[in-house]
Amino acid sequence: MMKRLIILSDLWGEKKATWLTNYTELLKNDFEIVFYDSCELAEINTTIYTEENLHQQFVNGGIEKAISKLFEIEKQNDTIVLAFSIGGTIAWNFAMQSNRKLLMYCISSTRLRYESKKPLGNIFLYFSENDRFVPKDTWFKIMNLPILKVKGNHDIYRDKNFATFVCKEIINKKDFN
């Protein structure tokens, strides 16, 4: 049986996720992939489709709505999660509140800098060295988490070469050990 891999989008949701095929094409032979549009999970109104408007809705209750929705629909343990930007914050908090052991890959999830506790499981974080909202080095030490900083900007996950790199990591570490 194939391992289950949940993908959580960035704050733009599926509407601006053409880059996602860079991941799904490489992962589809090794995993049962389930995709969640973070905007849909969080019940975000996308009528005014600007970064500021979407972001405000996520931080003003949307993240909590998304977590609640995941509680309703995600019942399986030992899940692998690939989450982008705000999706990483949703995944992190879902893992914390559900007390589930997840294998998480969070990319450009800068809001994690506000977290003070770490969920169970193995967590791999990827950030751009040019992203000004990356958690401080002391945060990584306190959380006892490795960090991988790469060249690029916040949306480094849209780069095909970076996607290939991350997918190889996921495929090579698909066990929970």
pLDDT in tens, 1-45: 788 999 999 999 999 999 999 999 999 999 999 999 999 999 999
Q: Which of 142, 32, 46, 131 is nearest to 84 (CA)?
A: 131
pTM of the entire predicted model: 0.94
Hey, what are 34's tokens? 């389930």
For the segment 64-94, what is each residue's pLDDT rounded down to a tens digit? 999 999 999 998 877 899 999 999 999 999 9
**Residue 176 has which token pair?**
């929970």
The pLDDT tens digits of the residues spanning 94-104 come to 999 998 888 99
Mean pLDDT throughout 119-140? 92
> Could you tell me the residue ranges of all domains in the chain?
3-172
d(CA 81, CA 27): 12
Q: Are 89 and 110 in contact (CB under 8 A)?
A: no
Instruction: State the chain's mean pLDDT as an integer.
Output: 93
Flag whether pLDDT at 175 surpasses 70: no
**Domain spanning 3-172, CATH class:** alpha beta
Q: Is the pLDDT score of 123 beyond 60?
A: yes
For the chain, how big is the Rg over CA atoms in Å? 15
